[in-house]
Amino acid sequence: AQSVAQPEDQVNVAEGNPLTVKCTYSVSGNPYLFWYVQYPNRGLQFLLKYITGDNLVKGSYGFEAEFNKSQTSFHLKKPSALVSDSALYFCAVRDRGTGRRALTFGSGTRLQVQP
């Protein structure tokens, strides 16, 4: 079975400061990992993904995430937060070793960037 944990319900950060949104995963094989952002009453927007290769993945809007296999983590980061980054962020995983193509999502972390 595959699962994702986002230990923080909410992250607060001041504008201009670096931000980190945590994600850990559990799969039986190797993972595909994703980050999505959701604005109120909207669908999910893709931010970035890890498939293979470099552990540091760069995505949209200045976000990046680092795949850490030993810690089974895929934390989302941004060097300098913007107020407009305030939204709900979801980490998702898919086990490459199974035929299951659906994503399993974490519980979500609300990011609040204060001006």
Residue numbers at the binding site for other proteins (CB under 8 A): 36, 41-46, 49, 90, 101-108
Q: In a 3-state reduction of DSSP, which class is residue 2?
A: coil
Beta-bridge partners for 67:
74
- Specify the residue, 101 or 115, whose C-beta has the smaller distance to other proteins: 101
Instruction: Using the minimum distance from each CB to other proteins, give the nearer residue, 46 or 61.
Output: 46
CB of 37 to other proteins, least distance (A): 11
In the complex with other proteins, the residue whose CB is nearer, 60 or 80, is: 60
Cβ atoms of 22 and 111 within 8 Å: the answer is no
- Least separation in angstroms between CB 43 and other proteins: 4
Question: What's the maximum distance between 2 C-alpha atoms anywhere in the chain?
Answer: 45
Kindly state the smallest distance separating residue 58's Cβ from other proteins, in Å: 16
Residue closer to other proteins (CB basis): 13 or 109: 109
Given a contact cutoff of 8 angstroms between Cβ atoms, the answer to whether 45 and 37 are in contact is yes
Closest separation between CB of residue 46 and other proteins, Å?
A: 7
Give the integer Cα–Cα distance in Å for 77 and 75. 6
CB 44 within 8 A of CB 36: yes
DSSP bridge pairs for 109 = 89
